[in-house]
Structure 1
Amino acid sequence: MLCGERTYQKEAIKAAIIYLASGEYSSINQLAKENYRNNIDLQDKYKSEKELLKSLQLPGKLSGVIDLATGTGKSYIMYGIAQMMLALNVVKRVLILCPSVTIEQELKKKFNELVKDSRLRSSIPTELIGCKAPRIIDASSTIKPGDICIENIHAVYDNTGSSIHDSFASGGEDTLVLNDEVHHAYNASSDKDIKKWKQFLCGDKNFRYILGFTGTAYINNEYFSDVIYRFSLRNAMDAGFVKLVEYVSRDESINQNEKFQKIYDNHKEFQRKYRKIKPLTIVVSKDIKSSENLSEDFIDFLCSVEGIEKDDACKKVLVVTSAVRHKKNIIALRTIDDADNYAEWIFSVSMLTEGWDVKNVFQIVPWEDRAFNSKLLIAQVLGRGLRIPNGIGAQPKVRVFNHASWSKNIQLLVDEILETELTLTSHILTQGERSKYNFNLYTLDYSKEERTVAKHNKTQEVFDLTKGIKLISDLEEEKKETEYEDIKGNLQIKVTNIQKETISVNEVVNKIVESFKGRALEAKLVFPSGEYEQEKLPSINDIQEFIRKSMQDCGIQGEYLTQENANKIYGKFTGLLRKKPSTPIFTKKVDNIIEIETKSMRNETARFSVLKKYMTLFLANTYRNEMDKEEAEMYENAKEEMIGRQIREVSKYNIKTPVNMVFTTLEPEKRFVQLLTDNDLSKHIDAWIKARDVGFYSIDYQKNKGSKFQSFNPDFFIKVKDNIIVVETKADNDISDENRAKYKAAKRHFELLNLELSKKNINQKYYFCFLSPADYKTFEQYVIDGRMFTSNFRSKLEDALEKMED
């Protein structure tokens, strides 16, 4: 009668009642010991029974947690347990604690509806002697037998209006305590009352029967050790009770303006799709200040994109935080699904996540990594968008617009929360036959120093501006892709027309002319109209013609420049005006040599959907000797679904690398690993390793002198006796300023490293190559016959990159 067809609700209530009322268990400790003896996974996770018991939050009590995905009717389960425990006469009264007034009000409303349902009351067996019609109260009244008291945790410590302490003056042994959103009690909090929540449960009231309820059963990344029933997010999605989740797996956004446009485009897509309701977007920031600043930027963006006044844009944006100044906005959340509530965009912080019983959220934007960097936060943030609005047809999706730049770091966390756990992991083998292919590398530790280069040139510099400046061939509007993946591995590519930030030619000219005022030229400027120096300044027409000529040369039409091109022009003229007696140059000096072991290289995990779409996998044909049973089963499950060319099982004698499997993404990488594992080359090398993208062997480079240092990790390290060949793979003709800078920095790094190794009598020498497939066969032959180590190997790509220097 209570749960209808939601079998999981019945199962949760049944599990709780048997645990609490059967007399089989004296406390959670007994249940934990029983599970430890029977569960190999628990024995793997906890070194001893004692360690498991130490992890329990409320030891010595009949305590436990029921983990239910948001939107699956948790309040029905809480009511069912409370009513049954009263009717069975196991307890005399029930205390329900929750973290906020909002949740308290929602629970009271639901419980009052249920307790008044005569059909529910009549379904309770007549022979039961306990209470069948409980009174629903809060802590402003004394809690008596037959009462269900619902109160927020703050009222427990309110000495003026709460009856909690008086009601339990003689103890709480006859009371069932239910804790909604119990992860608050288990996790660290800055709220003084929430900090005391667990202390209250374990304190002098002698509560025996205690259950917690949550959809986020995590302490940061650790799952609770006292869960007695779980209905997961994946279960709820598969059953169609909540929305499906999709999130960004690849994105081309590079700045805030582009992200705003993509988020806005998604929002408009949902408005078109669900015309009968008002779709909402939630943007989650790390703290109150960030949320406020971001909302202000977004209000300005709305004014621009929709052509509306600021007051109208402000009505569409609701900032919801724990700050006093936003208190009225929390009240406004209660009606935010309604059409007559103007708000469409909610800006919040990651800590404020429960009590929003809204159904119209179709997009969630975790703005910073910190808003989405633990299992707890991910589960909380996803929970805000799971409820399904009434009458919209097929099961909808909620779209999570996360940062693709850090999505690799959160994909595993998201997959675990959503239980899409078919992943393969590449890791170092430290035992077995192929562990012998581990080897040591060396790198240099640098310290950055700034030095100034004085200009001793006494003659006046002359700048020829008759030919314009090299601008970037750019469009004011550009199509940008974002790839989304849902929990079933389905990929969807969405294209958004991105309007770039532009500025008119006249504005650029006026800004330059303004900068000339009161300044004398340090150099002679040569324009088509003549020469200018000192107090004689070029005219507006001269500057305008210079810009027009530059635009014409690279095919830019119209009256507007992108902000990037405008900045290039500003930089040109600013440089002419600035005095340059000396120029700061950032360089690096060698401090000492560092040894790196391949054994220390971190694991790399790839999800099946990404493997299937983008990757090729190389591993030994004896892989079963190198994997445990579970790893082998996961690999074989993935193999069945992948096409033949994506799996390369290589003879163990040819794959001389210490990892259990090698992931390759781009075609040059794949073809190079094929080269390393073929019969001809493999017999001439001792060992090799494909480095991780970050964190293994990093080389710093600068695109331009004085610019910020960036870093890259070369792709491959190949050991041939005491020689180490370092290879960065690229596509044919992939010449760019960035590749030129990487090539130059790496060449310099390995020259210095060889010099330092020689000084310290370390027998290892490094040879660096920028390689593309056009030179793979030449490279192979040079390694086989030894010319790699006796001559200066130079690839076509290296030649092209060095010509860029000329």
Structure 2
Amino acid sequence: MALHKDFPESPHAILDPAIRWFPADEALRESSAEKLMPPLVPQLRRKVKEWRDSGYVGATDASKALLNWWFNTPHLLPKADGTMAEFQYYFAQREALETIIYLYDVVAVRDKFDLMRFDGSGAVSAGMFDETWRRFVVKMATGAGKTKVMSLVLAWSFYHKLYEPESELARNFLVIAPNIIVLDRIYKDFQGLRIFFEDPVIPDNGVNGRNWRDDFQLTVHRQDEVRITRPTGNIFLTNVHRVYAGNDIPPSPDDDDTMDYFLGKRPSGATTDSKVDLGMIVRDIDELTVLNDEAHHIHDPRMAWFKSIEDIHNRLKQKGAALSLQVDVTATPKHNNGAIFVQTVSDYPLVEAISQNVVKHPVLPDAASRAKLVERKSAKFTEKYADYLNLGVIEWRKAYSEHEKMDKKAILFVMTDDTRNCDDVKTYLEGNYPDLKDAVLVIHTKANGEISESTSGKSKEELDKLREQANTIDGFDSPYKAIISVMVLKEGWDVKNVTTIVGLRAYSAKSNILPEQTLGRGLRKMYPGGIEEYVSVVGTNAFMDFVESIQAEGVVLERKPMGEGTEAKTPLVVEIDKENSKKDLDALDIEIPVLTPRIYREYKNLSDLDVSALGHQRVLYLQFSEEEQREIVFKDITTGEVTHTTFLDTAGIADYRSVLGYFTQTIMKDLRLVSGYDVLYAKVKAFVQDELFGRPVDLESPNTLRNLSELTATKTLLDTFKRAINALTVQDKGDAEIRDRIKLRDTRPFVAKDQGYLMPKKSVFNRIIGDSHFELVFASFLENCDDVLSYAKNYLAVHFKLDYVNRDGDISNYYPDFFVKLSAKRIAVVETKGQADLDVPLKMQRLRQWCEDINRVQTDIQYDFVYVDQESFEKYRPASFRQLIDCFKEYREATQ
């Protein structure tokens, strides 16, 4: 049941259905396959792959444009430090959208009978579907980005209805949250349409000839603030309890029993708090799409949620319409008996999310550590489980110490069996551990994990404060470091900093709690990127048996030594080795001057480009058949992936403007040009019309567009323009001056991937991490060189980089590998390479130039450089740094 050996590490990699996880144990397949694999998913994955590989043949123009914008267009977004970084959606998010769009556009799914054709198990029957409308369920592991999927579905439905004349989708949206905490989280993302513009959800104006951003007119209505302002363009964001029809009344803080206000189902008592009748809203609109977050709570057709959505659907039918679409997103779409919802069309299981470091890795005590835990004979809860609590605190303390270096606060999460013992644990922790004094937050939950405040009679203000405390516990502004609850906060409490879970009870079947929901409170990651993170899970035997049952779903639970003297279960932290008394950090420190950039882009008027003198090789103009001209597919010139598709319209006329716009935008994105679209578009148009091919061409002809989609034409156009624009705009200032100085000992701590490293004696850092094995070999060489005083890896956190002109003529950044201090007056910058790339000579020329510049503007320290390739290093085997310089003198002279 292990993952396939070729399963990729990157969550962005396109996953072949053949390597996806599935319950390979035949015994499990026969006894509980329906609990492990959604029956429609295997066949849908294969069909969607074929469709993706075809360039989305059969999808509408709007759908294709969005899919290509989201998943085949590079997106550069600003980072907190002012730089730009490429943004990509996870493949799980991509596959979810592709599957939904495939089912709607290509298969034309209307009801359960259309979905049932994808059943590969033979076990699905019509009786398993309760709804009569179009409903899709997306299964994604906690922390894998379900809210992003909701935002993409919403945008797709909106534009499909707006741009496609025959569309049955909607521009009104009912977004349902299961409780107030989830509602607050979604509102934070949707308020002001923030997520749609901060993420690359909305295409730029001009893509495929549409004004996407101008046309995206939507208003968010929250809870009782729901007001109809227009017949379309509404997002109704509401708690699930406000959807209840008829006499089902939502909870209120003014109720006699407030147990359901914070996170619970509706009470039976009366209230006057609700001002919203969504049935009334539906009577005023003609189109609606429903999006359900944390949708595992909605599986019973007898419940009010189902009857309310059914009522909405029926009211729309009375007006000749229907509920356009219902999309549910959840990590655990399971019935009380554990069977997965048959409506599940896309699945990104926890085992895959852990493997790709999208979520934390659960870690359990190894056998030796667990054997030391004794359940004592005592009537007092905290005395009985003192060993478990103590081990949890020890593990949390180690994690807290490491994460604190990164300005992150680790959170301890303890689950008990009733409210009395919950309070007992709080008193015990605060009384026995000084660092937890006044730092423990208690939230009482009911048997099924929902919040209970029935015994406290808290006011609305107190409940709002409690909710705020639970939501903000991650930050250092919050005094709380631990949270105690009865069982588990079932859904919505999605803080990222839980590093340790202590479970002091078993789970009963009636609770309907699943292992992934238990672990889910600690799965969300604290750091971006592919860094491995961990959540330590400690508990009673009954609790651990429950957690370990998740292994049936392929999840590998790591087991490591825990307790005093063991390593913290945290990512690798690289920091200045201040705790090492054997190191003289002043002597080991290295100072690197920072010069002003030499290379810059002078944004001259692009009108200076002469398209008749670009020096390119003209492309042969081919004649294609009418069938070949019908669909025009553009592919990435390096990866071969489909990036843009255009079609003949119903009149048989192809729109060349969207194709030329695509080329213009690609050039601007690749060169990071922030303005000049209109001028560049005109240049591209003139170039294609008169210069690209062996003769002038008619842009209105579909044969011309078909020629443009040929790889030779695409590559010639893009490469020619990028080369010409770089030649026009990239300049070398010719001089430089010292702008700042970097002292390595001022480098802030940072986390790194769990990879090979050595513990250096001659560096200010506590670890030297190698991005390759050769880097570790070279670091070990420096450790043993008698003529090396100190050295350091040039980590990104050091912030030393050189601008240079790469082989494409574009401005790029280069990060040399090592700094080596040979004396107080001499420092060498070293570049190592296992396998040389084409830019190495250009990088070395820039490094030599930097050394000349710095030695000219200051004379206190002499700076030099060395290039070391692995093959030559292994051949010469230098015994000292002086010998290294002599051995590689030939290459140094070649760069003069």
TM range, smaller chain: 0.3 to 0.5
Larger CA Rg, structure 1 vs 2: 1
Please give the TM-score of this superposition, normalised by the length of structure 2: 0.42
Bigger relative contact order (CA 8 A; separation at least 6): 2
Q: TM-score, normalised by structure 1?
A: 0.46
